[in-house]
Amino acid sequence: MSLDDLNDDVRATYSSLDEDFSVSLDRETRNELAMLGTAFDTDDPAEIIRRAVHRLFQTTVESGTLDFHLRSTYDVTYDEYLSGMTFEEMTGANQLPQRDDERRYQF
């Protein structure tokens, strides 16, 4: 897959997400959400979930986990996605002429 495939998949996933959607919670998640809501003094569980998504995203970017998954599936990194160009395109490495290995060591 490629950077274009990643862009297409992100757009498709983004458009499939509704403004409001429901999530079923297991007992442990409900308990943790209640604790966080109480600690952050909010009655809106959606606020805690928004914060959790932001934190998870930040953590996966900082730890390199996001790059690992993007590289293994799309062969790009998050930085390449943000710039809209692959590393090879940025450095011009994909524009170099092909090496002729048969004549490489001939004088």
pLDDT tens digits along 51-65: 999 999 999 999 999
| Total domains, the chain | 1
CA dihedral over 37, 40, 44, 48, signed as positive or negative: negative
Question: In sequence order, which residues have a C-beta less than 8 Å from that of residue 16 and are 6 or more positions away?
Answer: none
Does a structural domain hold residue 2? yes
Residue 14: inside a domain, yes or no? no
What residue ranges of the chain have pLDDT lower than 50? Answer: none
Q: Note whether 47 and 53 are within 8 A (CB).
A: no
Asked whether residue 100 is assigned to any structural domain, the reply reads no
Domain assignment present for residue 20? The answer is no
Structural domain harbouring 88: 1-6+43-93
Residue 24 in domain: no
CA-to-CA separations, 77 to 36, 67, 71, 99, in angstroms, rounded:
32, 5, 6, 27
pLDDT for 74: 94
Q: Classify residue 104: in a domain, yes or no.
A: no
> What confidence score (pLDDT) does residue 100 get?
61
Which pTM was predicted?
A: 0.73
